[in-house]
Chains A and B, each alone.
Chain A
């Protein structure tokens, strides 16, 4: 069964460093998303992406964050200058359609900023 994959599974970085989290969505899906979950808290929406542009973003997704689909299969989340509070589990998700369709989540990347 097709699934969303994410790399790396864990990343440790120093505050102020740039990180790139990678995702490979399910191949026939058109909509892509990033969410994050700070330890012990809710899963929070960051951004959605369709047709090579951001469709919607949350207030969390500030200028430090960017997303890109550099080729036909990868979808990346870049954090330019990491802060301690960026430590979280980051989930990529994808869906075939936009409204009313299941979003399939990847296993997540656990990011620790020291």
Chain B
């Protein structure tokens, strides 16, 4: 089964708009993390939300987690051209205490 599937696969918006990306997963998790990757570069950690949390904020980022639906969303408000990147969710699955399982990611393009 696929764990950590993001949608949409690609999103193109104008600067100043909000961007919402979703992630679904199939098994119970300990926590869910969102990462960002600029083209061909490393993974930058954005935010971690634990399974007993429902919402978390960090600057312009807002993450929600619905464990009953096994889904999470990442909202970037007032987007900037510099937010252009791929965004991945990664789950830390219950019973597997070490590894993160990544989705395929959403490619966000913010047009100036």
- The residues of A with any CB-CB pair to B shorter than 8 Å are 31, 33, 35, 41-45, 48, 50, 55-56, 58, 89, 91, 93, 98-108, 110
Contact = CB atoms under 8 A, between A and B. Distances in A.
Interface residues of B, number: 25
B101 interface: yes
Contacts of A55: 97-98
Interface of B: 30-31, 33, 35, 40-45, 48, 50, 88, 90, 92, 96-105
A105 B31 contact: no
A48 B40 CA distance: 23
A4 to B, nearest CB: 9
A107 B41 contact: yes
Contacts of A43: 43, 88, 90, 100, 102
A104 B33 CA distance: 11
A89 B31 CA distance: 25
Nearest to B33: A102
